[in-house]
Structure 1
Amino acid sequence: MDPFEDPRRSPEERADDLLTRLSLEEKVGLMFHTVIETGPEGTLLERPGAISKSATSEVVLGRRMNHFNIHGLESAETAARWHNRLQELAEQTPHGIPVTVSTDPRHGGAQNAGTSWVTSFFSLWPEPLGLGALADPELVEEWAETVRREYAAVGIRAGLHPVADLATEPRWARQRECFGQDPELVAELVRAALAGLRGRDGEAAVQSTVKHFPGAGPQKDGEDAHFPYGRDQIYPGGRFEDHLLPFRVAIADGADAIMPYYGRPVGLTRDGEEIEAVGFGFNRQVLTGLLRGELGFDGVIVSDWELVNDNHVGDQVLPARAWGVEELTPAERMRRILEAWADQFGGEECTELLLDLVREGAIPEQRIDESARRLLLVKFRLGLFDDPYVDESAAAAEVGTEVSRRRGHEVQARSVVVLHDDGEVLPLRTSGGRLRIYAEGLPDEVVTTLGEPVADPADADVALLRLGAPFQPRDDLFLESWFHQGDLEPTPGLAHRLARIRAACPLIVDIDLDRAAVLTTIAPVCDALTGSFGVSAAAWAEAITGVIPPQGRLPIELPRSMAAVRASHEDVPGGTEDPLYPCGHGLEIGPVPDHEG
């Protein structure tokens, strides 16, 4: 055996040995991490996909790439089959470097091609904001252990999570991915998530990627930095250190990788030095000075997606998120990213651009070696060089087991927050299934577990409505339609429509809080009001009937008005004046009556 093939040696020894054997093309290939898609029935896709840019053989064999972010998956068995075929293809490269397959979160109910994937064959849990509502580190570690187990069974060995951002700006579109707004609680839950992904000795670990450094929450006016109008991160309340705290804890706890966000800091001064207003992925003061230097992080820094080139998908275009360096060429942007000391280009496959920079002398090969070594080291620590394959025949039985599905369902129900209960209508008494129910946003199969569906509130004993949090739809740029942005107030007529329903029968309303909402006009016209975080209809039904009593407490505040939101500071946790429901709010409901069973 060559030293890098010897599992008796340390990961450091093996990485050092292999690095000396790699060609420049192989080292450069390690530094790109892009989207990949599967073919039907677990085959390799040998053409561009819906989002992926090239055929699988082109990126693996032609470009020597071996880090890929997987999107849609058909089933556990086909995912495992595809993964093994991908690893077989990688064996054909000069040194057989195994592929690291990564994913955005998959264990919640939110679908967004830029941030998360609903995966029906995995167990489904609340969104991280719902886990924050339960504020239980042991539960978060259990959730992350389940994620690790199910990922590893189908060959996914890197999570593009956990999110360590603070949900301090009520309008921001990515709050559901956060654990909440409180810095210390978020830090504690991130630590628990890292422990679960790491696993115990002898278990297949999943690489963690903590994001989005140094905290993506304080977006100006709540806009998201995926888009040109949301490029600015601001700290008018002077709370930069609050946003940094969860990352400090994650680094101390051994985070494998960290991803900076797209945003650029505006008006940020630290230790008397003004931080340049360029995106964090390009920002040497933030990545080299703060992350590498002050915080001592020596793991992998992977940029967020498409900082170098514009992203063309069909007839839509999303400009490169080169905020503050828009005037630079792609090659100049790439050089800025490397000089800031990132190791990997997210969402890019332009290996020839980096090869040219090295061959022209603009980037020394020693700089490439430093990043390549970090990336190899993670692969060795994961054990991928020793056995990258998975058991295809066992995948379906190991993923989404009855035990993990039931546990995820139970936690979903527990995470529901009772915001308002006028007259103590909760828990809902189903009268032995004889209740007549008018429903919106609930499937019939769930309604029939509670009673008899009716089409008119006038014929109902109770009305059950599940609504999404308000947002303003946008669809001018690629991905924009997936992000719920804009004001937090519901449409003007909603309160009047709800009041008419309530005039006919008692009304229970649930708001799916993928971000904060202004519910000031809604609460007075509901007999009971709940907030949930990616909770299934069946789990919500068991929560409001007390079968699984809801225990959630708001992990974010719900503002009283948009005026209060606009007057608040984006970086301050709990910064709106006199919120309708403060962070930590949540009511208890009584036990299930005996006759309900």
Structure 2
Amino acid sequence: MTLDEKLAQLVGYWVDQGDEIVAPMAGEMGSSASYEEATAHGIGHLTRVYGTRPVDPVDRAAWLWGEQRRLREKTRLGIPAIVHEECLTGLAAWKAATFPTPLAWGASFDPELVEEMARSIGQPMRDLGIHQGLAPVLDVIRDPRWGRVDECIAEDPHVVGTIGTAYVKGLQSSGVDATLKHFVGYSASQAGRNHAPVHAGPRELADVFLPPFEMAVRDGGVRSVMNSYAEIDGVPVASSAELLTHLLREQWGFDGVVVSDYFAVAFLRTMHAIAASDGDAAVLALTAGIDVELPSGDAYLAPLAAAVRAGDVPEALVDRAVLRVLEQKERLGLLDETFDSPPTEIDLDSSEHRRIARRLAEESIVLLSNDGTLPLAEPRRIALIGPNADSTESLMGCYSFANHVLAHHPGTELGFDAPSLAEAVRSRYPGATITVEQGAEVEGLDRAGFGAAVDAAAQAEVAIVAVGDRAGLFGRGTVGEGNDVESLALPGVQRELVEAVIATGTPVVLVVLSGRPYELAWALDGTATAAAVLQAFFPGEEGGSALASIISGDVFPSGRLPVSLPRSAGAQPFSYLHPPLGAANEITSADSTPVRPFGFGLGYTTFSHEDLQVAPVISAGGAFEARVRVRNTGERAGVDVVQLYSHDVVASVTRPLAQLVGYARVALEAGEQAEVVFDVPTTRLAFSDAKLRRIVEPGEIEFWVGASSADKETVATTVVDGSVHEVLPTDRREVVTRVVRGL
């Protein structure tokens, strides 16, 4: 291969890139080369063929098959291109199913269902000639002011790791390579600002941010990793050989392809100012271990070619990256593909997609409070109020095609059915008189609709008030990439609207459709208390129907908070994984205690947790069983999320007051009980010591099970015995659970 042919394999080309801003600073970046010029020597990736504009999938497939044949027949080497697309909430393409956002995956605590979802996403992707999906996001939530929280799974690394790894397994089982985002530390950005510096120390990186990625690499066998835009303690990740080569490849054994986040290589010059030119940026990134520059070849084509020819970087590093790309293409079958039979029909929103989307939405909705108003029986007069009451967009996250792309194409139909909450409530209560009033916009200060909303509520038996977010990008919306906030109050005048409706005396069921947790103490425990509060994190195309099913009692709520419900923006950043000094105490007047803790969620029944049993002595480096009896103590069937927590009583470095060890969803009939058995490797108790060694340390450990991270319902204490165990790559990390019934 000539140098030009090699470099062509290390870049993408964004065929449809136009004026629509769907990536950071896209308007200021991008190659000026024509498609024919850029692909004269072949091309590594075709960027977002289906996901940049609304294109008919069958027509686009025919075009793509023709382009792949052209690459095979008209370039000297005849190497087809990898096609990559976004697929965080389903394939981000016109007419494709939209699933709940990742924060809802975390709220479900159901990795098996997430794996099933990812498999269903991947199958039509491969049928459309797509080879790589840019998902999942494994950033651990640290500050809900950050706009990209709706793309994240949870504030707990174990939940992020188990659910994210399940997504990887599901997508790759369909023949589509998953891509881990954003390696690493991106979500720890200063003050919750996008692309801000990260000040995480090496222990926080090792114990909080890296474990989900390590799990997806070691246990999930992920085939691609994408760098974070972040700079950590002054070192941009895109230039860090320590992270991208020494840790990822040499220590963890990753043997796939590292791709750059969009424009991240050039950002070493334009945003981080550690490179004087795009050629310098290319040398830094290639040396660090970034194999492929996406979305286009701003740095890895002419600038990198000049650097190689000038001797600034050895061509062997180019060869290293090219071999990884060619190995990926060979494994995906691209080198043998003839591209002679494009699909002539395809269903991107099948009944199976909708079944999974509905179930995941139902499992992810969290009941935060309830005075007995829910479930609603058969009310005769319902007022449905709020900016999200009759909105399809409010059901979908930032990386849904609807909010990511279609927002630039007003008037273009969605391409699939997504009933709003109002439509779903009308369908569920056909005999009721239902009045819908918007009351206010998601943003802005217009209160002109308050009067009609209050009148509708006053004449109703119950008012369902739907508030929250509108996802978008870079200032177009209230949450999503680039939509960071300084306050965690509901946007606009939405709180005032809710308070005005509550003041009528009509029972209010508050539904929060959002991409981040908001300050809700006033509605949960304050003077303007709602009768019930439901939290739905962008539940997708079936989210309206799922909410109606839970409101009516056709489905029992079983979601649990994957992120603490904040007391205020001033209490951020906060994590339940805090050491003793991170808790409220008498030597500060500030209280960061969340309004609802991590793992919290109510249902229409109650559960008890009893008789937690752990062996009194366990061996460092071994495994142990924790057994707990769970009973449905109510009068309805329900699903409990059984949560096992631990605390290292005395350790050589400070440890969290609570840390999730394992979890299990358990369905129980009224009065039924079962024993949940957690088979736990002691690696779940590991941490980085003063020398940054990953160890299991002897000493006393307290375990408990309860309804949340803050609830010690049944407690057991054990002692880890033996010498310090330094964690090995071959050590088991997976917690295995089983449920014993018929007690």
TM-score w.r.t. length of structure 1: 0.79
Residue correspondences, number: 521
Match for 1:331 among 279, 284, 295?
Answer: 279
- Equivalent residue, structure 2, for 1:301: 258
What fraction of aligned residue pairs are identical, expressed as a percent?
A: 27
| 1:215-230 correspondence to structure 2 within 5 Å | 215-225=185-195, 230=196
2:78 paired residue number: 96
- Indicate the SS of the match to 2:187: coil
1:355 CA drift (Å): 1.4
Q: Give the match's secondary structure for 1:168.
A: coil
1:491-506 superposed matches below 5 A: 494-504=494-504, 505-506=506-507
Alpha carbons 1:34, 1:67 under 8 Å: kept:
yes
1:427 has 2:375 as partner: yes
Assess if the C-alpha contact under 8 Å between 1:471 and 1:486 holds in 2.
no
- Following superposition, the deviation at residue 238 of structure 1 comes to 3.8
Aligned to 2:106: 132
Distance in 1, matches of 2:83 and 2:496, equals 50
Change (3 A) 1:140 1:447: closer
Q: Which residue of 1 aligns with 2:710?
A: none
Query: Equivalents in 2 of 1:245, 1:488: separation in Å?
Result: 28
Deviations 1:356-378 (A, max 9, x none): 11222222222111100001111
2:37 & 2:364 partners in 1: Cα distance? 42
Q: Is the 8 A contact 1:287 1:340 kept in 2?
A: yes
| Partner-residue secondary structure (3-state), 2:286 | helix
- From 33, 38, 61, the counterpart of 2:12: 33
Residue 285 of structure 1 aligns to which amino acid in structure 2? E
Aligned counterparts, 1:105-116, within 5 A = 105=87, 107=89
Pair 1:258-2:239 in alignment: no
Runs of 4+ residues deviating >6 angstroms = 48-52, 470-474, 573-576
The change in CA–CA distance for 1:49 and 1:487 in structure 2 (over 3 A counts) is: closer
Distance of 2:56 and 2:96 partners within structure 1:
9
Deviation at 1:394, TM superposition (A): 4.7
The answer to whether the Cα contact below 8 Å between 2:133 and 2:179 also exists between their aligned partners in 1 is yes
SS at match of 2:383: strand
Other-structure match for 1:377: 327
Deviation at 1:49, TM superposition (A): 10
Residue 438 in 1 paired to residue 384 in 2? yes
Query: Which of 561, 574, 595 lines up with 1:580 in the alignment?
Result: 595
The answer to whether residue 384 in structure 2 is matched with residue 406 in structure 1 is no
Q: Does 1:546 align with 2:553?
A: yes
Change (3 A) 1:545 1:79: farther
SS in 1 for 2:66: helix
The alignment's C-alpha RMSD in Å is 3.2
Q: What are the residue-to-residue correspondences of 1:348-359 with 2, within 5 Å?
A: 348-350=296-298, 351-359=301-309
1:12 maps to which residue?
A: none
Whole-angstrom CA distance in 2 between matches of 1:573 and 1:556: 17
Runs of 5+ consecutive residues of structure 1 not aligned to the other structure:
1-21, 40-47, 109-116, 267-276, 311-318, 593-597
2:291 is aligned with 1:343: yes
d(CA) in 2 for partners of 1:462 and 1:359? Answer: 73
Match 1:558 to one of 554, 562, 565: 565
Kept in 1, the 8 Å contact 2:368–2:601? The answer is yes
Quick check: 1:364 aligned with 2:314? yes
Contact 2:365 2:557 in 1 (8 A): yes
Conserved 8 A contact 1:216-1:261: yes
When Rg is computed on C-alpha atoms for both structures, the one with the higher figure is 2
**Displacement of 1:244 after TM fit?**
0.7
* TM-score, normalised with respect to structure 2: 0.64
Between the aligned partners of 2:179 and 2:471, the Cα distance in structure 1 is 29
How big is each residue's C-alpha offset from its partner over 1:549-580, in whole Å with a ceiling of 9 and x where there is no partner? Answer: 321101111111223225x4799699673110
Question: Paired residue for 2:171, among 189, 193, 197?
Answer: 197
**CA displacement, residues 87-119 of structure 1 (integer Å, 9 cap, x when unaligned):** 1332222122111111122535xxxxxxxx754
Q: Distance in 2 between matches of 1:167 and 1:308?
A: 25
Question: Are the aligned partners of 2:42 and 2:77 in contact in 1 as well (CA < 8 Å)?
Answer: no
Equivalent-residue separation in structure 2 for 1:447 and 1:291 (angstroms): 49
Asked whether 1:76 is paired with 2:54, we answer: no
SS at match of 1:198: helix
Could you tell me which amino acid in structure 1 is paired with residue 45 of structure 2?
Answer: H
Structure 1: how far apart are the matches of 2:514 and 2:423? 23
Q: Please report how far the alpha carbon of residue 28 of structure 1 lies from its aligned counterpart in structure 2 after TM superposition.
A: 0.3
Q: Does 1:67 align with 2:51?
A: no
Distance 1:390 1:583 in 2: 52
Q: 2:283, 2:576 → 1: CA distance?
A: 32
Corresponding residue SS for 1:208: strand
Asked whether the 8 Å contact 2:42–2:80 carries over to 1, the reply is no
Residue aligning to 1:269:
none
Whether contact under 8 Å (1:210, 1:257) holds in the other structure is yes
Alpha-carbon offset, residue 153 of structure 1: 1.9
Name the SS for the 2:467 alignment partner. strand
Give, as a single letter, the amino acid of the residue that structure 1 aligns with 2:71: A
Higher strand share: 2
Comparing 173-182 with 64-73, greater Cα deviation is found at 64-73
Q: Does 1:448 align with 2:418?
A: no
Q: Per-residue deviation at 1:489?
A: 2.0
Alignment of 1:270-281 (within 5 A): 277-281=234-238
Q: Match of 1:64, as an amino acid?
A: G
SS of residue matched to 2:47: strand
Matched, 1:211 2:207: no
Relative CO higher for 1 or 2, CA cutoff 8 Å, sep ≥ 6?
A: 1
**Most deviating of 438-447 and 163-172:** 438-447
Q: Which letter maps to 2:285? A: I
Structure 1: distance between partners of 2:545 and 2:217 = 38
SS in structure 2 at match of 1:175: helix
For residues 42-79 of structure 1, the C-alpha deviation after alignment (integer angstroms, 9 at most, x for no partner) is: xxxxxx99996557633653363230220234333233
Question: Aligned equivalents of 2:470 and 2:61: distance in 1?
Answer: 39
| CA distance in 1 between partners of 2:146 and 2:217 (Å) | 25
Task: Give CA deviations for 1:378-420 in whole Å, capped at 9, x if unaligned.
Answer: 11111122226485445423x2211221321232122111111
Contact 1:38–1:82 (CA<8 Å) still a contact in 2? no
Alignment of 1:174-189 (within 5 A): 174-189=148-163
Q: 1:208 to 1:436 in 2, by over 3 A?
A: closer
1:332/1:53 CA distance change after superposition, 3 Å: closer
Q: Deviations over 1:296-354 (max 9, x none)?
A: 323211121213447xxxxxxxx9664251x5221111111112122111233231112
Query: For 1:216 and 1:246, how far apart are their aligned partners in 2?
Result: 13
